[in-house]
Amino acid sequence: MAKLDSQQIIDYFHRCYKAVDGLWFIKVEEKYGFDRALEVDNEVWKVMPKIQARMLKSMLKLKHGQDALLKGLKTKLELDSFKFKIEKTENGTAVVNFSDEEALEELGIVPLPPYIHIPLTDSERYQTIYAQEKGRVTFSEFSAAFQGEHDSYTTGYKDGKWYCSCHFFSSWGLCSHTMALERMLGDMLPKEALTTQYHTTA
């Protein structure tokens, strides 16, 4: 048997993992349709991260706590070849920023997930159709790090209410940061979150 170095062995199994992940989705879609394939895919990925987390926890000898969690998450994302940056915030949370702008510039199109290796014949399939139809997505809650003119703020929506760490919001219940997010997200927000003139109308 030909000898492979460690990196070649890693690349071999990594590519097989991605190929199988994409191939089973395509075959389920061919037989049962896209919606059914997506439903099965969602169920699979409810379980898979738990398996991965247990494996990494054992391999890295991780204990409890945020540092251990972030170390495991960082390792998992690196193994999956994601481009990302993890930043800890002052309130004790952590933000994961993903970036793949270089690939987008090179391709000139929205790239497919890395596990899909078969070219698409229909441009309105997989994640692109959902990206084009924003009405399919509604944020029930979220948190965002907002870089303002003078400082950084934590802005978001939770339990049916907007919040922001800026001083203006504490006095008025809204601010330029919440209004900006409302304008950006528009119809992807629940109706009760639409408080300004910036939301789109049907």
pLDDT in tens, 47-103: 887 888 888 888 888 888 878 888 888 888 887 777 778 888 877 788 877 665 554
What is the phi/psi pair of residue 164, to 5°? -155, 145
Q: 166 near 177, Cβ under 8 Å?
A: yes
Q: E-assigned strands of the chain? A: 84-88, 94-98, 142-147, 152-158, 161-164
Q: Over 70: is that where the pLDDT of 182 sits?
A: yes
pLDDT-above-90 percentage for the chain? 0
d(CA 23, CA 115): 8
- Global pTM value: 0.41
The tokens describing 132, both together, are 């084009």
Contacts 24+ apart (CB under 8 A), 93-97: 93/143, 94/66, 94/70, 95/145
Instruction: Look at residue 123 in the predicted model and tell me its pLDDT.
Output: 47
Instruction: Look at residue 128 in the predicted model and tell me its pLDDT.
Output: 56
